[in-house]
Amino acid sequence: MDETAYLESQQTTYVIPASSRSKRRCINKTEPKPNLIAGEGQPLAPGEPPFLRLLQGRESITHAKLRYELYTDMVTRQDQTASRILEEISTKTLHEIEEVISRPLGDMLDTVLLLSNSSIATKATTMRLALKTIVNGLAKTDKSIELKSRSRKYRTQKDTINSDDDYDDDDDDDDDDDDDDDDDDDDMRTFDKRVPWDLEVAQEWCQALWDRAGEDMHSSDLRMVLLLEDIDSYNVILLNRLIRLLHSFKDRIPIKLIFNIGTNVQSFANKLRNNVMHYLTFHKFKIEQTDNIINKIVSDIIIPESFLIGEELAKFILDRFKMSVKNVDEFLKILKYAKMSFFFSNPLSVLAVVMEDNTNWQDYDHSYFEALRMQPSFRRYITMMIDKKVPSAKIEKLLSNDIATGDALMKAKKLYDVYVDGFKSVFTLITKIISPRSYKATKNHLDFYYKLTSKDEFIRIQFINEMLSLLKNIDIKEIDTMINEISTLATEDTFLGPLNSRIKANINVSDVLELESTLGGPAHSTEVLNYKIETRKLRDHFIAVLDDFLKSNISPPDRIVFYEIFRLNEVEVVKMNLAPPTRAIIQESLINHERYLGISNTGHEIVDRLNNTMNPVITDLFTIYRETNLNLNIYDYYTAFRSSLEKDQIMKDINTILDDPEKIFENYLNDDLRFKYIYQFFNNAQMSDEEKWERLTLTFFLQKCEELITCGFFKQVKKKGEFLEKAIWKDL
């Protein structure tokens, strides 16, 4: 937050110029009260939703429950839509993999290579959903058996085969529970006493099925699929031996392989020996499609919701994608966390829903309107009214009358609904019709979203200009196709109706197409030139119409009063929890330890006095650390630390605590030997108090210096053992 924004957020008073007969008056705006919006609240009864009653506990129980319902409904829709998106994207891949699995058996093992993003391959929930979809599709085949090897780092071939058999046995045990008379289960029971890693068990089981059906391995459609979810983590020697073993059973077991690769094909191939490579026939499938998945999430999850995400949150997600490997699972988690933060901490989040059924503002607690008047957009609105010399009575009414504030909220909601409808229409027009013609490669729709919602007009205008400039080489037939698509879209979206009408009234493609048809035979140069001129005119006119429509309908929502309560933009909370500023947090805890430790009121007068006299040692060391140069002499550091302590008072309090009849220190240590050693040390008559103090402070110093080194604040200079060097942190 910059200085101007901070000052605006602290404003509590407006000066309203009155009529000439009266003096200027100062109207106090509702004073912001602590915990009014996002602070502590009252928990609901046991068994109720885990949300708090906000507004200092004045929020109604119904509204608190409604916030939880809105959150759970949005998250449920998000999860269901995400699963559907992954299933749709993997459907084509599923069919192609099924074709590979059902291929006739040969001398080489058919091996499916699933290429995926490295961050998704091992951890992301979305990739596991995609794999689950593929596996479920294969399992629908009556005689397809899946042996699944999880992402483990096995050391021996026996362990690997054993793990595969464990998963298969688990499935069979479930079937046994359901139907003890199943013939296949009876066959499997005959092999229970075999060692589980013996592949001859699988061979004899397959043979039993073939004999019963009167088939052999080549005439049967039975397939045994081995899916290795994280092939990159397997030991190289083990992997080669496993493939050789499986290949040796190619004439006895109908094996097919599926390997999920998180790196690339070249890295995987380097792990295999040349002779092992000849055992396999590879079929590559790219199942990650991260950009397509993210674009579908933006179009199917973010855009359809009534609560859109804000510009700052969109930029935060976008920046994280640019700086790291794209992770769909992280994207979904950020959205979920943003929704949770918004509904958990903002009591105003229910107003957009409840006021559709109840606009009797007298039914709402006064604290709702106090919170509304604290919104930054409302502050700016009042300031603007003052600058425009709006009658003071109208301004005072907004600041003090709850009904007037509620009516302003209702008006703002209608304006925001119009904005949302227009934004969704523009976004659909860009993503479905314009951008596919402007950009050859798939573009990130989240980037489009951020640029369209940006408060910076330059970013919005530059985005439109760049996108439309790429249409200057589009041919006339493609323009005709775009016009037809816009017309079709306008039948479903009334907001695009004016654009469609303007195009039909001003863009006549048929004349240019007719002119093009006359160029089929030998044409004069003047006719060709005329065609090019007309084509350029039509193209430029078409682009100009799009340009005018887009630029007139992409204004940001911050001009609407109370827009904050209609969108998800808890970006600071998301940042603090998903990308916490580690350095700032550590420094804050070391500087203001009381906020974290709370050691000033322990219930023991002597202990409290010692805590007030002596801060935690690491806090004092860090305070000195902040005031030193880059290189620090260890002895000087120790001397400065020791001199900052109140020796007499600390030694007196420590001795008092050791002799306390309530055994405060002994109970705290819960270690008789350690307490005995410390007690004897402080009661050693042969050692002077100065020597005791020297040893005590040196012990403190060495222990906490090591902690600061471990935390990364210091590093020892090897050539000069008596010096510590500050570790360079960003902005330090």
CA nearest neighbour of 87 among 364, 309, 287? 287
CA distances in angstroms from 145 to 158, 243, 263, 393, listed in the order given: 20, 19, 27, 79
Ordered DSSP codes for 404-442: HHHHHHHHHHHHHHHHHHHHHHHHHHIIIIIHHHH-SSP
Could you tell me where the DSSP H helices lie in 117-156? 118-122, 125-139
Label residue 171 by pLDDT band (50, 70, 90): very low
Using one digit for the tens of pLDDT, what is the confidence trace for 297-314?
A: 999 999 999 899 999 999
Using one digit for the tens of pLDDT, what is the confidence trace for 414-466?
A: 999 999 999 999 999 999 999 999 998 888 899 999 999 998 999 999 999 99
Structure-block tokens of residue 434: 């314009």
| Per-residue confidence (pLDDT) for residue 175, from 0 to 100 | 45
| Per-residue confidence (pLDDT) for residue 559, from 0 to 100 | 87
| Per-residue confidence (pLDDT) for residue 459, from 0 to 100 | 93
Label residue 191 by pLDDT band (50, 70, 90): very low
Q: What sign has the CA pseudo-torsion 603, 604, 605, 611?
A: negative
Strands 280-286, 109-115: pairing is: parallel
The Cα–Cα gap between 238 and 232 comes to 12
The Cα–Cα gap between 334 and 339 comes to 9
pTM beyond 0.75: the answer is: no
Label residue 170 by pLDDT band (50, 70, 90): very low
CA nearest neighbour of 349 among 562, 44, 575? 562
Selection from 8-22, 252-266, 666-680 with the highest mean pLDDT: 252-266
User: On the CB side of 626, how many CA atoms lie within 13 Å of its CA?
Assistant: 10
Label residue 37 by pLDDT band (50, 70, 90): very low
Which pairs count as long-range contacts for 166-170, CB under 8 Å and 24+ apart, including other chains? 166/196, 169/196
**∠ Cα 406 409 411 (to 5°):** 115
Domains of the chain: 102-288 (3.40.50), 425-565 (no CATH), 582-726 (no CATH)
CA nearest neighbour of 437 among 542, 325, 288, 593? 542
Does the structure show a pLDDT above 50 at 618? yes
Q: Which helix (H) or strand (E) is 548 found in, with range?
A: helix 525-551
The Cα–Cα gap between 228 and 152 comes to 10
> Which DSSP letter does residue 496 get?
G
> 87 near 136, Cβ under 8 Å?
no
Using one digit for the tens of pLDDT, what is the confidence trace for 369-396?
A: 999 999 999 999 999 999 999 999 999 9
User: On the CB side of 243, how many CA atoms lie within 13 Å of its CA?
Assistant: 27
> 405 near 413, Cβ under 8 Å?
no
> 70 near 354, Cβ under 8 Å?
no
**∠ Cα 215 220 225 (to 5°):** 135
Residue whose entry in the numeric block shows the structure tokens 């980037």: 447
| Per-residue confidence (pLDDT) for residue 236, from 0 to 100 | 87
> 196 near 169, Cβ under 8 Å?
yes
| Per-residue confidence (pLDDT) for residue 463, from 0 to 100 | 94
Using one digit for the tens of pLDDT, what is the confidence trace for 316-336?
A: 888 887 766 567 778 888 899
| Per-residue confidence (pLDDT) for residue 427, from 0 to 100 | 95
> Which DSSP letter does residue 347 get?
G
Using one digit for the tens of pLDDT, what is the confidence trace for 68-127?
A: 999 999 999 999 998 888 777 777 777 788 888 888 998 999 998 888 654 543 344 445
